[in-house]
Structure 1
Amino acid sequence: MQVEVDTLTIELSTVPFDNRPVYLTGNFCKWLPDLEEYRMTMVSPGNYRYQFPEDLELPNPIEYKYTRGGWDQVELDRAGRPYGNRIVEAGETLIKDSVIRWQTDVSTKADVSPIVETVSDTFEITQFSRTRRVRVLLPHDYYENPDQRYPVLYMTDGQNLFGEGSEYGNWEIDKSLANLAREHKAGVIVVAIDHGEEDRVQELSPYDNPKLGKGYGEKFLQFITGPLKTHIDEKYRTRPDRLNTGIGGSSVGGLLSIYAALMFPQTFAKLMVFSPALWISEKVYFDAVHFFEPFETRIYLYAGGKEGAHMIPNVNKLKETLETQSFGYTRVKIKSSVDAKGEHDEKQWSKEFPKAFEWLFFE
């Protein structure tokens, strides 16, 4: 049976960091996977659209799939298996689909890239009366192991961490996690929280500064440890205890992470502290002396030699202060990493991420 469809439109949302084109294939084109007339139009990164010609006669029902240009590049389900045929019944005019994984090449090894999901584009931060995009990177086999629970690493500056990154660069943690997965060292859920653009420094800094103004970092941590962590623990299979919960960031995000170790030890036991903006306030050393509690904790401190004259001395001073306050407790482990040629940028933090990640969660 043939049916004439007036204006059938199909919209697709998928991962924004795959630059391959997207094609529709189905019983309307003999299942050929890469016909140019069925190539979808990219509306924005990760969003595609296709409208069938008004006078085209289509089968009823329509069966179809998405490809990236061949049957070796077909859509996959959450578990990494080929997706079943999709179906459109007569009378439907707008279809909205999503694809979270794609096959890359039949000759390559299994895809172990993390599964990227958007928790919310507008997660409410009640502490600021603002909203923020929050995404998660799940282990590649998350949906294949329904009984397994995972540690969680919360990370700031989500725009800069993976995919296409931002104008400032890209940590490429998705690629690092895929490489670690091949060594069975990527079984952690990473929560990426976007920063507040022009309000970034004030939001993330836990200290006031005469030039930068008031710091709201403590409120930001209240958001993470309160509503956000509650939501993540309810929606995903996490290990919610402190020993399996970490936080990480760079620059002012690194400062926020060390503050989390001092003021929220009941929540965080793993801290990824890259190039912390310790210059914002000397009070951080005072807090380290008065509030650091020697619970079982791991702190990874990184500093680069080309980040200004004070970066390495400040980080060394912080490390010595923390070690003094831990009273020799073996439960507190602090690992420092210094790159004499390291600059204050995403490229450098990208190199350091897998080292810190592995030490924090798998050593």
Structure 2
Amino acid sequence: MCSSKKEASSRIEHVEAFKSQYIPARNIDIWLPQNYSEDKKYNVLYMHDGQMLYDSTATWNGQSWNAGETMQKMMDAKRIKETIIVGIYNIAELRTIEYFPRKAFDLLEPEIKDSLSQELLKQEPESDHYLKFIVQELKPYIDSVYSTNRAKENTFVAGSSMGGLISMYAICEYPDVFGAAACLSTHWPGSFESNIEIPTAFKRYMEANLPSPENHKIYFDYGTETLDALYKPYQLMVDSVMRKKGFTSDNWMSKEFVGHAHKETDWAKRLHIPFEFILK
């Protein structure tokens, strides 16, 4: 089922077409740090858009997060815990419906839901099934094949844009599975136009479902260019919810990156910040 391919000072194990009873099969890339050993226990970071994480020569736009390289450098510097990255590939035509939080969608007015379903999503969100795949199928596989710390304190989730939304949704829906989430350039508009209805639904969902700040960490950020230029007012609205729910600088970070755009190379530039915050 697995095949290996090399990355500098580390390795990536590729699982082709991992099967699921909840969602269509997809590829998985597991990044293992230098000197990975069965004699150690590793934390696990689940990341969305897995085909964009490691190798810019293999991505559709020639960009990547350089996630493995950043992770290795930070582990070598003893700034973060030893961690495995599990990159979950998206399926392009299903990405939006799998990453759009279903329970926030259900809070929308019927006409907004109809419009979203017809114009953007093409069908109702499948995010609950996507999370079941991660929690009930992929995580047990990873924990059985690799030497992992299995508790929520050692299990993390991260993504950008729609991947930021599904990371927020994951820690809210499964607070006993994920101890921290990193949400970069979170796509609060939910569509490609500025609006208030969809971000308000996310706000209402978070007010009712955020996990306890006592044993969870959440990271948010946004840039100021391209699509990220839409995000600031919505992120500030979400920040007010975080404060109201008891999150402080000990367990929550929200940052603006002036000049950063909605692209992998800019996420790569700042990835060390969320990594250190959630994995320290």
Deviations 1:309-335 (A, max 9, x none): 430111121122022113x678x6101
1:160 partnered with 2:52: yes
Counterpart pick for 2:86 among 180, 185, 191? 191
Q: What residue in structure 2 maps to residue 293 of structure 1?
A: 211
Deviations 1:209-236 (A, max 9, x none): 5132321112111110111001101111
Q: What residue in structure 2 maps to residue 212 of structure 1?
A: 120
Question: Given the superposition, is the C-alpha separation of residues 309 and 345 from structure 1 closer, same or farther in structure 2, using an over 3 Å criterion?
Answer: closer
Counterpart pick for 2:11 among 112, 115, 127? 115
Runs of 4+ in 1 over 6 A off after TM superposition: none
Q: What residue in structure 2 maps to residue 351 of structure 1?
A: 269
How far is the alpha carbon of 1:147 from its aligned partner? 2.2
Question: What SS does the corresponding residue of 1:122 show, helix, strand or coil?
Answer: strand
Amino acid at match of 1:134: I
The separation in 2 between residues aligned to 1:309 and 1:177, in whole angstroms, is 28
What TM-score results when the alignment is normalised by the length of structure 1? Answer: 0.65
The separation in 2 between residues aligned to 1:151 and 1:258, in whole angstroms, is 19
Structure number with greater Rg is 1
Indicate the structure with greater helix content: 2
How far is the alpha carbon of 1:177 from its aligned partner? 2.2
How far is the alpha carbon of 1:345 from its aligned partner? 0.5
Kept in 2, the 8 Å contact 1:288–1:325? The answer is: no
The separation in 1 between residues aligned to 2:157 and 2:235, in whole angstroms, is 18
What TM-score results when the alignment is normalised by the length of structure 2? Answer: 0.83
Q: What residue in structure 1 maps to residue 241 of structure 2?
A: 321
Amino acid at match of 1:357: F
The separation in 2 between residues aligned to 1:257 and 1:299, in whole angstroms, is 9
Counterpart pick for 1:338 among 241, 256, 266? 256
How far is the alpha carbon of 1:174 from its aligned partner? 2.2
How far is the alpha carbon of 1:138 from its aligned partner? 1.1
How far is the alpha carbon of 1:14 from its aligned partner? 5.9
The separation in 2 between residues aligned to 1:161 and 1:308, in whole angstroms, is 20
Question: What SS does the corresponding residue of 1:303 show, helix, strand or coil?
Answer: strand
Q: How does 1:247-258 map to 2 (within 5 A)?
A: 247-258=157-168
Kept in 2, the 8 Å contact 1:114–1:177? The answer is: no
The separation in 2 between residues aligned to 1:310 and 1:177, in whole angstroms, is 29
Kept in 2, the 8 Å contact 1:158–1:195? The answer is: yes
Where do 5+ consecutive residues of structure 1 fail to align?
Answer: 1-12, 16-99, 102-110
Q: How many residues align?
A: 250
